[in-house]
Amino acid sequence: MTRYLVTGNAGFIGSHVTHRLLDRGDEVIGVDNVNDYYDVRLKEARLARQEGKQHYKFLRLDVADRGAMDRMFASEKPERVIHLAAQAGVRYSLTNPYAYVDANLLGFLNILEGCRHNGVKHLTYASSSSVYGANTELPFATSDNVDHPISLYAATKKANELMAHTYSHLFNLPTTGLRFFTVYGPWGRPDMALFLFTKAILEGRPIEVFNNGDMQRDFTYIDDIVEGVIRVSDRIPTSETVPVVPNVSSRAPYRVYNIGNNNPVPLMGMIAALEKSLGKVAEKQMRPMQPGDVQATYANVDDLQADVGFKPDTPIASGIERFVAWYREFYHV
């Protein structure tokens, strides 16, 4: 049994990771502030699924609260940390930037300090495919330059990777960042396209299709994300020299991986699969590209496959069917 801290425990990925850890016999301390960025009832429903499970404890805390996090680390003494708490969303960062600084920068610093001072053996944390920003060469590889983010959200995730490397280098703290690619599935986030489209189609409302549908996303099913997170957390990086970017090497116990399906799907293809699963055709309103969005994402997962022996592979049609089944059951539609 390993004692884990999972932040963002009421979130989409965090709740699924918690279930997987508990099912395999680990101990989990879950932390979440359960904010109202999206429907709190969904977050509470995720938490309710975990109540009463053996070796599970939930603490309603904000990772940006330095004092509370210091006390939590000192009292709970987690052996490993999976840090998934963050202010998510590209578009929201255009209107509420301070939320991203508080949660994603200050909150991450509190996590790093807690790990540093309390003997944590491995910090695994969420980064994002959005760090690739203005990159146009596909597929995206972890060795690519990511110095040109096009949203504040992406900039904070890139900053997390830089902060983690610094702590790995200075304090020999093993850290691994995971660049997630368009995660979807049951219990997903209501601000994501698949959720928004499903809700609108079932309610008979039109859907907004950005960039006139000329977009591709490397949609990655939640079970594949969780499998990758767990495998990476179990593989603690060492101080052997590894390339960070071309012509730069590091001896820090630090890694970054993409976790994506390695199979970009056209947005209109995703919509067609959703229409088939719902048995309804969507009314589509074409819109221009939104600020902060990119035309395509596509993950190179060679490093992930080489190091932990795993590659996401759930087909989009299968994943959407499972999401729609959950949505109909949860919302009784």
What CA–CA distances, in Å, run from 142 to 164, 184, 224, 264, 306?
Answer: 15, 22, 19, 17, 13
Give the pair of three-digit tokens for residue 19: 């279930």
Catalytic residue among 4, 38, 100, 153: 153
Smallest CA-to-CA distance from 162 within 262, 245, 79 is with 245
Distances (CA, A) of 128 to 75, 121, 153: 31, 23, 9
Burial class (CB in 10 A: 0-12, 13-18, 19+), 246: exposed
229: amino acid identity, one letter: V
pTM confidence score: 0.96
Please, are residues 224 and 316 in contact by the beta-carbon 8 Å criterion?
no
- Mutual orientation of helices 222-234 and 12-23 as an angle, nearest 10°? 60
Half-sphere exposure for 323 (CA within 13 Å, toward CB):
35
Q: How far is 269 from 272, CA to CA, in rounded Å?
A: 5
CA dist 256 and 61 (Å) reads 27
Q: Is 153 a catalytic residue?
A: yes
User: How many alpha carbons fall within 13 Å on the CB side of residue 302?
Assistant: 6
Distance between CA atoms of 145 and 59, rounded to whole angstroms? 38
**In angstroms, what is the C-alpha Rg of the chain?**
19
Which is it for strands 254-259 and 220-221: parallel, antiparallel or unpaired?
Answer: unpaired
Quick one: tokens of 47? Answer: 């938490």
Mind listing the pLDDT tens digit of every residue in the chain (333 residues)? 999 999 999 999 999 999 999 999 999 999 999 999 999 999 999 999 999 899 999 999 999 999 999 999 999 999 999 999 999 988 889 899 999 999 999 999 999 999 999 999 999 999 999 999 989 899 999 999 999 999 999 999 999 999 999 999 999 999 999 999 999 999 999 999 999 999 999 999 999 999 999 999 999 999 999 999 999 999 999 987 566 666 677 889 999 999 999 999 999 999 999 999 999 999 999 999 888 888 899 999 999 999 999 999 999 999 999 999 999 999 999
